[in-house]
């Protein structure tokens, strides 16, 4: 019989250890970063095993799949992060079921999420996705368009603007990745200095979370390094 719990704990413990080392190299406290376990493409069983091993933050990229896992896990203390592209006809399910959104990039979506957030729940935590690399096909606001969106999102009841997120272009060398992450960290610091009250910098995935932590990430989104390949 395969014990998936043990198998899972090994991976997640290893990732946690690497996170701690990266934080320590950066002179930061061991608990200074949230590890979001990206469970898209993974089974409900894998999510349950992760939960049993102590994992609480989970990330999903597809609304329907996420909603099903949230219901299946049914754990009041689990924290669900929506990290996929937001289609306007799917905002209601995101606003009702998730705790965080990492991929806000349009004012119209911000308004929909805010209006659809149930008043009985705390405000939805939102991160603005920034297309730091200026890639044509990529989601996210251009750095010059960040201010107006931050301004709008921070004024909407139902939302709480918490910070920024980015996904670097594929195939960057570690030094280029570091420069990319540092640009997002600088934008984040500017917003903080301007009084936006932001405290979360979401950057880094399985292949580059250590570099992201070096640049100041305090929320990393790790899928395959924890769960193995996706189906």
Ligand X SMILES: *Cc1c(COP(=O)(O)O)cnc(C)c1O
Q: Binding to ligand X (CB under 6 A): which residues in 189-208? A: 205-206
Chosen residue from 33, 53, 83, 217 binding ligand X by CB under 6 A: 83
Do 179 and 168 touch, CB atoms closer than 8 A? no
Residue 45 CA to residue 104 CA, distance in Å, equals 29
Measured from the CB atom, the residue of 115 and 178 that comes closer to ligand X is 178
- Residue 9 or 202: the one with the smaller Cβ distance to ligand X is 202
Minimum distance from CB of 120 to ligand X (Å)?
28
Tokens of 139: 């989601």
In the bound state with ligand X, the residue whose beta carbon lies nearer, of 12 and 158, is 12
* Strand intervals (E) in 13-153: 34-38, 57-60, 79-82, 100-104, 124-129
Window 96-155: residues binding ligand X (CB under 6 A): none
Counting contacts by CB under 6 A, is residue 40 touching ligand X? yes
Among 167, 187, 198, 211, binds ligand X (CB under 6 A): 167
191, containing H or E segment: helix 174-193
Residue 90 DSSP symbol: G
- Which CB sits closer to ligand X, 158 or 204? 204
92 binds ligand X (CB under 6 A): no
Choice from 61, 131, 166, 200 touching ligand X (CB under 6 A)? 61
Q: How many CA atoms lie within 13 A of 6 on its CB side?
A: 3
- The answer to whether residue 15 forms part of the interface with ligand X (CB under 6 A) is no
Tokens 């580059």 sit on residue: 208
Q: Which CB atom, from 37 or from 158, has the smaller least distance to ligand X? A: 37
On whether the CB atoms of residues 124 and 98 are closer than 8 A, the answer is yes
17: burial class by Cβ within 10 Å (0-12, 13-18, 19+)? exposed
Binding range to ligand X, per CB under 6 A, among 47-55, 153-161, 174-182, 219-227: 219-227
Q: Which residues bind ligand X (CB under 6 A)?
A: 38, 40, 61, 83, 167, 205-206, 221-225
């Amino acid at each position: 019989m395969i014990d998936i719990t043990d198998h899972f704990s090994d991976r997640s413990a290893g990732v946690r250890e690497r996170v701690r080392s990266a934080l320590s190299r950066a002179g930061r406290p061991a608990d200074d970063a949230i590890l979001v376990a990206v469970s898209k493409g993974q089974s409900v069983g894998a999510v349950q095993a992760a939960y049993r091993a102590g994992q609480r933050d989970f990330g999903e990229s597809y609304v329907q799949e996420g909603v099903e896992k949230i219901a299946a896990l049914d754990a009041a203390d689990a924290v669900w992060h929506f990290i996929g592209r937001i289609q306007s006809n799917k905002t209601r399910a995101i606003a009702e079921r998730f705790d965080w959104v990492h991929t806000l990039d349009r004012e119209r979506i911000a308004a929909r999420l805010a209006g659809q957030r149930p008043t009985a729940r705390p405000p939805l935590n939102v991160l603005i996705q920034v297309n730091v690399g200026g890639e044509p096909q990529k989601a996210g606001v251009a750095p010059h368009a960040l201010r107006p969106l931050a301004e709008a999102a921070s004024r909407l009841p139902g939302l709480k603007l918490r910070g920024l997120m980015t996904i670097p272009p594929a195939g960057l060398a570690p030094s280029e990745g570091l420069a990319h992450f540092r640009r997002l960290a600088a934008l984040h610091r500017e917003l903080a200095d301007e009084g936006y009250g932001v405290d979360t910098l979401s950057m880094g995935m399985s292949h580059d979370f250590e570099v992201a932590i070096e640049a100041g990430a305090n929320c990393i989104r790790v899928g395959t390094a924890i769960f193995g390949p996706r189906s």
